[in-house]
Amino acid sequence: MTIALGADDAAYDLKETIKKYLEERGIEVVDYGVYDTKPSLYPDIAVKVAEAIAGGKHERGILMCGTGLGMAITANKVPGIRAATCHDTYSAERARKSNDAQILTMGARVIGPELAKSVVDAWLKSEFQGGGSTAKVARIAEYEKKYLKKER
């Protein structure tokens, strides 16, 4: 499994911390930037990562910005993507088990690096549980289809 990572300038340091943490555990990561703390636009990074995941390049992604919110809002615009902002381990587990979220988002101004690592662990070790959640996640996709603009 490869994990796509992305962050804006506000979360550059957290991205580097998470990148190192995953690599030390033998998990392959692909870093979609940013690569420094120069001012950046988080939607550009969110879309790059979300498109790569929707296109099947990576199984999962982690996006980080100041709050995690802008990254999630943007990533969720890409059809097929379910991005969830999690700052606690229970939410991270449920984001996988109930919501089948392929993207985890976190805010570097909200969460410290050690808790962020635990959130990542909880999210990575959890898988979609299916069962009663299958119809619910399928319904999200139906609504998504309803609102997709037809290509002209």
Q: Is 86 a catalytic residue?
A: no
Q: In what order do the strands lie in the sheet with 103-107?
A: 28-31, 2-7, 60-65, 103-107, 83-85
Q: Is 124 in the site for ligand RB5 (CB under 6 A)?
A: no
- Residue 33 or 97 with smaller CB distance to ligand RB5: 33
Shortest reach from residue 36's CB to ligand RB5, in Å: 15
Q: With 0-12 CB in 10 A as exposed, 13-18 as middle and 19+ as buried, what is 16?
A: middle
- Site map (CB under 6 A) of ligand RB5, residues 3-22, x = contact: -----x-x------------
Q: Is 107 left (phi over 0), alpha (psi -120 to 50) or beta?
A: beta
Tokens of 64: 């980080």
- Residue 64 or 122 with smaller CB distance to ligand RB5: 64
Binding site for ligand RB5 (CB under 6 A): 8, 10, 42, 65-67, 69-70, 107
